[in-house]
Structures are given as structure tokens and as C-alpha cells.
Chain A
């Protein structure tokens, strides 16, 4: 691989860090413009993907080529969410009329117990917070990851009981999470790819 292609790969990796930065910054309480960073993550991904394709030299069947496929899949899904999935979000308005009419006393009892459990756990996770408004942020994940995970599980359980996510349909409900999952996989793969390449370079071999 030529030096030019290597440097293009480096540039691609830099660009593809933009989504990572976006994801972290918007959860970090940093004073940023989330919408601006959303645009940066889209732009960075697009430029990064183009550079990565050049960097690959068309060798898609190689192990790093799988990374490229992953990247493209992540981007296609991201594009779909923006162009089509967002319409699915819009259609959720007014999509749950029975929530206003039907009653389920049993559900209420189970929910009450769940909320009590959340309040109890929150007393240890973030004592000053109100359960009504709280969800774990980046700092909680860094400080108390297990407790945060337990809290998140209770939140998800409450959410499941409302049925809203299920009602939205799999694509609308899960596409963003799949997009994030694919992105995370890609970033992990990219890190391995860079690690292997660096190792080879440092070993005097050809990356």
C-alpha cells in the first residue's frame, strides 16, 4: 500500500471519529450545539467513508474490507433513518388512542412497584435527582456503571410496559439502536485495524 493511501486512511479514520465525538459530546454535558454536531457527524461520516473507499484500493474481500462493508451498512441505515424513519417518528403522533381510554389496574400496580424500585435505586445512584426526570448520563456510566445498568434495565422495563416502542414497529423503534450498534462495531473494528496496521509498521512490515 502506498504512503498516499496510508495517509488517506489516516484522514478517513480522523473523519470517522466525528460520529464518536458527537455521540460522546451530546451525552457529556459539554457546552456544545448538538444539532451542529449532528451535522458534523453526518458530514464526517460521508467524507470518511469516501476516503476509506479510496484507502481500501477496492480490496473489499480482505478482513479490513469487512469493516468498509460495516461502515457502508451503518451509513445506509443512518440515511434511511433520516430520510424515511423520521417520517415514521412523525406518524407516531396520535397513534395510541387507547392510552386515553382503556384502563388496566393490574398494570398500574406492577408499575407502582417498578417506580418504587427505581426511586430506591436512585437514592444510591444520584440522591439529589428526581425519578420523574432522571435517566443515567455519561458521568453515571463512568462512576457507577453497574448501578446505572440496573437503573437502565428498570427504565426499559417500564418502557416495555407502556408498549409504545413495540407499537412503533421494529424499524422505527430499533433502527437507531441498530445504527448505533453497527457504528460501535465499526469503531471497534477500526481500532483493531489501526492497531494491526501500527503493529505491522512498527514491525517493519507492510501495513
Chain B
């Protein structure tokens, strides 16, 4: 029996997230440019053929006839092949860097460390194997695409699974790695010959010197002496981690294999947070502006100097303009405990309603829709085999889960391959999620609502709904059914609007209705529109009428499960608030900052990077120039810092501790503070408390709350839903998480909420936590809210202002300079514009733009998995993986414009112009162009202007104040 060791790589499961690359570089301390493993994205950019993107992890093939070994001129050979295991290794201490092995390997699988001048290559993690562990790449893979083991066993398993093993032995080297072909096979590619290539935007060049410890350090200098569990604080996947220490320094971040849900799988971002902790670009001391605003000139000052002056200037602004003149915008880097905890308390003590997070840029639409329909923001389902894993169909509408929450998608993809569940993706792009789908429906951007209405029509028209569920658990179902049929929202009606054939719409409806459990996922593609709430409601109703609500394996899932933290200061310590919030969306504060209307906002304390993240950058920057005080809190200096009067360095991740991001399926992960922040950096909590003390709030914002555990246990979880989520309970587990809601420490966690026969937490006697205890489609209270804004309560179709076809649009009746009316949907008094649905007409905004040559649909969104907004752009490895701001464009359209792959192009909307590198891909509608968010003109590597120079802050959903970031007319040209 052969003991030949090998990796098996399943190309159907690989999602190109590059987590294996990140794990490999961590494990082996590799620096920029040096690889033992590299993941390629392969596409055929010819317009006439269109196989989905293939993700190909490349590493040493551990050949039986290794060409690299034979090419090595040194005697005895520096490269050797272990007779027992078949592992081919290089003795790096003896390698002279001649490169003969590199140019001999026909697979291009030999790495080279140009800095150290030596070959580097995969040895299936010999050191880890010696310790009884599997190779690093296999241990983290979110999609379970990489499996390690005995080669003959791996091949036999593949055969048993009925999977095709790719024969890639053209060079008769007997490669050891077993590649499983995608389920659809590789025939399409082979028929057209070897023209597959990586997009030209795929490789950046950070220098070796850009990598800080532990990268580049010898293994003996990063020996692990203890391991502490915790979690990733970047995205909604909330992955559980293990932090490996050498002395007081973190030397490795891995997944937590003890986690019963994630099992140690993590994406590259969690691993690359290692590049934040010792990053030489980190802000280390408070900075005070010395140059003009926007110029970026600063001097270091002490915390006392900075906070004393900030407090004094805030008081002066309050005296002159009122306490509401302070705006606070906090975002993801600050963490939920800051956003919903410290900031909330501070704003109540100070007396300003103008406090917001990134919610109205991302997810406020779905939050309003959830609240209206099910009376709670908690998402019912969990990523477990019994729940989401048991679905018969997965439908993704505007949700690129594979790139935004790769670990969760890896699990879904694994389950659907095991159970043969259907996977359908509705998206203008063939996203990574769509590459795995049975069907990709390339919808016209901004028309998901029309598709949902047509799906509902077909289900209702054919009587395919779950009659019992509709009768027993939906309030207002019959009204809505009659409305849908009366409005004739049929598949025939929707086909020209959505650009999806009638037959496909009917098929989709029938799949959703007939599946024994259908998970309908939606995300920013549905949310970031002016019809955000109504589109979410439509798809929620589709899920509900087919019985996919409050059951295992069925549900409407628009991430994430919003935070339930809402502490309040004692009533007698609340400062009076005289005026409502200017607008719920912070970009609605621009008029208040620039022109003082409807009332002035003169000071802003912000985190994150509004100067890349907010839409309408030109106006946003003008507004920031108008401020009398801008305080920016962040881990790295960025575009926003340049405008600030004070830049305050904050701690990050395990430097400050606390809970993770809001997880999709209600898991809350705890981190202890494990290391000291760099220099003078402090946790956000420390900063808010210290600032508060200077304003006399020390009795509420107590020093004791600088300890995140004390703040969490004493302040944050004093609610019915969270009372049991104590740090004690989280820390008692090796994986450090609990699943909310938990009314007491003894309470049992709930895998699936709202199951029939269950009682919602905080709503005694009710299955759903609404007034009626049922899902609410239409009630007098809901109708009354919509009437106040001038809108129909049942979702009536409208789309975006800027489309290539004329469609009904939402017309706002009040500009941001005016008060408008008070929002019936906002949690606190808030001004909002009234609106009406305007039928299509020749004099539309879209028609004007089309006449002016704006002939393509701009779609913005998240870049591939290694990036998350601006902070990952300071990680050298994320920039090595995805360096350039790209613009995905269909080859046919590119050809017509004379644009080639990798060429610099200009994209222009009515609001601005940017440049990006063209990425020709057949995986996008011919009329669309996609540009990702996150890049900025001051970032450490590969600076580009933000895509938000192209977006418009006035195109907002008046119900949720969600801004449209997905559908804008643009023109594209060569630079």
C-alpha cells in the first residue's frame, strides 16, 4: 500500500478566497512575492465562450519524476524526494538561488524568495506534520476544497463520490496532487484551447521590506509558546480564531478547530489581521493638524492636550449652535460595543440625535423590513447542518456570499454538493457565488423588486403557496394576494424590466415553492437601492407564503443579525435634545455641514473612512471642509484623517478586546484584550470615557468601563435577549461564542427561531414578536406609517432614477436643506423627505443622462474576499492579492470601446470621474460595469480614487434612508 501523501483539491468547492495562500505565508513566514501556494482566477475573456471563472490553487505537485529536482545543478541535490511519502522538498539553507528548478517546473509551481535568493516550495507543511497536524492550507480552507491524506485514499474517495479527477500529467511527471474537476467538467475550456488567463489586475508588488514581523522571521524566532482563543473583528462571518503567541507577540492566527460550527475554517482576512498588529503604518499617537484642512500636515500631541482641546471646542460649538451641532459617525473598525455602547451613552449625555453608523449605507432597508414584518431584527436561521444545511434550494438575490462571507458560503456550497440542493444566483455579475450556481440569472440592476413581485405572482396565480402557513401565520396575506394579482405583476410583465426570460422567472418561482426548505439569501445588492425596504419586503413575502419562515432549512436571510445592544443613561442624566436628527443617513448631513440647513452641524467625530466610503465624495469633502471641528479615530491614517483637526489612534481587535462584529446567525464571539496597542493608541472606549470625563460625564461613563468585559456585562447586555450572553458563559467555551437571544445564563441556545409551537423571546405567547404574533404584511399601523411619507403601504414597483430603460422611480419631494417631515420609521425623531412614485416618462433624469452619452450601468460592491473596506488596504498581503481598483466590463463592450484587459480606463457619472484598471470578463451583463469599494487615493499601496466619487447621496430610500449605490448611469472610455 502506497503511503504517498498528497493534497486533493476540489475545484467545485474552491471559491478563490486565497485563505490557503494567507495560511501558507503565515506558517512559513513568507514575505511579499514569495509563494508556496498561489490561487489563480482563470477566465476565458473571449465573448463567444463563457465558462465560469475557475479558481485554481497551485502548489508543488510532488511529482514522481520531479523536473525541479533533475534541474538542480548542485551536488548533492538541494531538492529531494522522500521515498516513503513522495514529498519533494528543497533544502533552503543550501539553495544558491540559480532558479533552474523554477524554469524547469512545467506547472509553474516552484516558488522563489527573491529577497533571500532561494527557492521555496510546498513540502506539505513538514513541520506541522511532524506535530501531527495537517498542512496549513487544508486546515483553513473555507470551502473544504483542500483535503490532505494518503493519495490512493484521496483518489478512491473521489471515485466513490463520482467525481472526475483531472488528468494533468501531460509531462509524464506523475504529479501527486489530485484535482477534482468542477461538476460541469472542463470540456468547454479544452474545446477552445489553452487561452485561459488570469485577469491583468491580479498581482501587486509590495516590497519585501513592507512585511513586518513575524513574516520573514526564521521559524525559531517565532516559536509558539501559548495559544489563546478569540474571534475575528472584521466581517459578519465572525470567525473564531486562535491567537498563537511567542512571548508577548502574536506570531500566527489560525481558525479554531474546536468550534462546532466553523471547525477551524477561516478566510484570509482574519489571518491578515496579523499584519495590523505590528504594522509600521499604524497611528501611534494623537495628531493635531498644523496645515490646511485636507493637506494632511500634523504634529503629535499628548492625549491630555488633544482631549482637553477637543472638549473645549465642542463646548464652544454647543454654546454657539446647540448640542445637535455635533454629529458622530462610527463604523465597523470601532466595533459594536463602541457604536452601540460608548457612543450611544456619550450622545445621550451630550444631547445630539445626529449619531449614526454605516447602517444606512449597508443594511437599514432590510432592518426596517424585518422590523415591520417579523417585529425583530434577529434572523431566524443558523449555519448548521440541521438548519441551513438541510435546505433543498438556495436562492441568492443580490448577495455575493462567497466573497463577503466566504466561510459561510463554503459551508453552504459543501451542503448543496452533499445533498444535491439547487443553487440559483440572481445578480448582474457572475460573482464567485454565481460561479457555483446551477443557474445564474443576470438581472438588470435595480429590478430585484420586479423579479420578486413576478415570482410572487406566479406562485399566487398557480396556487403554489403554503396555504396553511398563509392562513395561520400571515396578517394581511389576502390583501397582498389581491394586490399582486390586480397589479398584474406577472412574469411576462417582469421579463423586459428584469431582462430575465419569463420561463426562467416561472421556473424560479416553482423551485422556491416546491422545495422542502428554500433559503432565500439577500444582501447589499437588494439593500443599496432607493427601493430597499420594499424590495426586501417583497422577497420576505415570497419566503413567507411558501412556508419558508420559522422552519429549519427555509427562511429569508439578509445579513446580518443586527445588534441588540441599546444601553441608556439614567433619565436624569439625559441632556435635552431640541431638534430631530437632520437625516438618518449621515450623507444627508452634508447640507447641514455645508450650508447650515435645516440646522448647522459644525463638529463631527468619526471613525472609519467617510472620505472614501460616503457617496458623493465631492460634496462630502466640501462639507468636511466646512466643519469647525473634525475628530477622526482610526487605526491607520487615511483620506479622512487629512481633513481632521485631530487624529486619534485607536486599538484594534485583540488590542482592545470585546465582541466580534454582528454575526449573520446570532453568534457573539468574545475577545479578551491580549496585546498592548502600538505606541499611545487606546481603545475607543477609553477615548470616549476620557472625553466624557472632561465634559462631566464621569459618573456614567465610568473608568471601570474601560475594561470591555465590565462594560459588556454591566451595561451592554441588560436586555431580555442578551442577559445570558455574559463573558463568563462565552469564556467557558473553548470557542468563545454564544448564540443570542439568551434571556439567562442558564438558557438554552436556539438554533432556529420562531419554529411552530415555540415562543419568541420577549414576546410571551407569540410565535413571532409582532403585535399580532404573526408575520405582518399589512396592518393599519403599517399603512399609517407609509401614508405619512406619501407612499403606498404594499410594495408597488419602482426602480432607480438612472436606468437604461424607463421605469417608475421614487421622487423625493424635499431636499436635504429642508426639514421635510418626521420619519415614521426611524427609532428617534428624524427629519426625512416625503416622496412619491413617479411613472416613467420621456423627461426623466435617465433620459437626459442617456442623451448625454451615459450608456452603461455602474454597479458598486465588495471586492474579493481578502479585502474589507479600507483597512485591509494597509495589509501588504491583501494588496499583493488584489492590488488595483478594477472595473469589470464585458469583453464585447470593451471591444467596442477599444479597451483591453488591464488597461487603465475612465469611468464617469453625472457626479464625478475616476480611473481604474479594466478587467474583461464575460461574467457581467454587457450593459453593466462593476467597480469595487474600499480603495482610496492615500492608501499605502496602489492608491486609486474611491468609487464614491461616482455616487450620489441624494438617491435615498425615504423609508430607511438607505442610499442607492448599485445603479448609476455612466460612460466609460480609455485613458
Contacts and interface: CB of A to CB of B under 8 A. Distances in A.
Interface of A: 26-29, 33-35, 37-38, 82, 85-87, 89-104, 107-108, 111-112, 115, 131-135, 137-138, 155, 159, 161-165, 167-168, 172-173, 176
B738 to A, nearest CB: 41
Given A35-B95, A38-B96, A133-B70, A102 B193 contact: yes
B760 interface: no
A173 B170 CA distance: 21
B112 A133 contact: no
Contacts of B158: none
B172 A34 contact: no
Interface string B184-204: 001001100110111000010
Q: Which residue among B77, B98, B198 has the maximum number of chain A CB atoms within 10 Å of its CB?
A: B98
A133 B66 contact: yes
A96 B106 contact: yes
9 contacts: A34-B74, A89-B102, A90-B112, A93-B110, A102-B190, A132-B66, A164-B104, A172-B103, A176-B98
Interface stretch (B33-41, B231-239, B463-471, B601-609): B33-41
A120 B96 CA distance: 32
B172 A101 contact: no
Interface in B149-205: 166-172, 179, 186, 189-190, 193-194, 196-198, 203
A28 B113 CA distance: 26
Interface string B939-972: 0000000000000000000000000000000000
B369 interface: no
Nearest to B79: A133
Contact of B93 (A35, A100, A104, A173): A35
A144 to B, nearest CB: 16
A100 B168 contact: yes
A174 to B, nearest CB: 9
A44 to B, nearest CB: 15
B734 interface: no
Contacts of A132: 64-66, 70, 81
A102 to B, nearest CB: 4
Contact of A90 (B33, B73, B172): B33
A27 B114 contact: no
Contacts of B76: 29
Contacts of B97: 38, 82, 86, 89
B46 interface: no
Contacts of B593: none
Contact of A27 (B67, B73, B99): B73
A102 B74 contact: no
Interface in B59-97: 64-67, 69-78, 81, 93-97
B112 A108 contact: no
B229 interface: no
Contacts of B74: 26-27, 34
A194 to B, nearest CB: 27
Interface in B100-157: 100, 102-114, 117-119
Contacts of A112: 172
A36 to B, nearest CB: 10
A161 B172 CA distance: 11
Contacts of B42: 97, 101
A172 B70 contact: no
Nearest to B77: A133
A27 B190 CA distance: 42
Contact of A133 (B35, B40, B81, B111): B81
Given A115-B172, A165-B104, A101 B189 contact: yes
A124 to B, nearest CB: 18
B262 interface: no
B112 A135 contact: no
Q: Which residue among A26, A37, A87, A94 has the maximum number of chain B CB atoms within 10 Å of its CB?
A: A94
B650 interface: no
A145 to B, nearest CB: 16
The secondary-structure label for the interface of chain B is loop
Nearest to A84: B114
Interface string B552-588: 0000000000000000000000000000000000000
Given A35-B96, A86-B117, A89-B102, A97 B189 contact: no
Contacts of A86: 97, 99, 112, 114, 117
Contact of B67 (A29, A101, A159, A168): A159
B56 interface: yes
B58 interface: yes
Given A108-B172, A163-B106, 8 more contacts: A26-B74, A92-B102, A93-B110, A94-B58, A100-B56, A101-B190, A101-B194, A164-B103
Nearest to A81: B99
A134 B79 CA distance: 12
A93 B111 contact: yes
Contacts of A82: 97, 117
Contacts of A173: 103
Contacts of B40: 94, 97
A-B residue pairs, 10 tightest by C-beta = A96-B108, A162-B106, A98-B194, A94-B38, A89-B112, A102-B194, A86-B114, A132-B65, A89-B99, A95-B108
Contacts of A93: 35, 38, 58, 108-112
A162 B111 contact: no
Contacts of B75: 26-29, 137-138
B520 to A, nearest CB: 35
A112 B186 CA distance: 25
Contacts of A90: 33-35, 111-114
Nearest to A104: B170
A25 to B, nearest CB: 9
Contact of A26 (B67, B96, B190, B196): B96
Nearest to B70: A135
Nearest to B172: A111
B67 A35 contact: no
Contacts of A26: 73-75, 96
Contact of B171 (A28, A34, A111, A176): A111
B54 to A, nearest CB: 8
A38 B116 CA distance: 12
A105 B745 CA distance: 66
B190 A164 contact: no
Nearest to A162: B106
Nearest to B179: A100
B196 A97 contact: yes
Given A97-B40, A101-B168, A137-B75, A159 B104 contact: yes
Contacts of B110: 92-93
B304 to A, nearest CB: 48
Given A26-B75, A93-B58, A34 B94 contact: yes
B765 to A, nearest CB: 60
A90 B107 CA distance: 14
Nearest to B113: A90
B190 A135 contact: no
Nearest to A179: B98
Contacts of A91: 33, 203
Contacts of A107: 170
Contacts of B197: 97
Nearest to A87: B114
A198 B166 CA distance: 66
A35 B170 CA distance: 34
A111 B65 CA distance: 13
Contact of A92 (B81, B93, B103): B103
Q: Which residue among A28, A97, A102, A176 has the maximum number of chain B CB atoms within 10 Å of its CB?
A: A97
Contacts of A133: 65-66, 69-70, 77, 81
Contacts of A37: 96
A143 to B, nearest CB: 14
A165 B73 CA distance: 16
Contact of A97 (B64, B66, B108): B108
Contacts of B171: 99, 111, 161-162
A27 B76 CA distance: 8
A29 B94 CA distance: 13
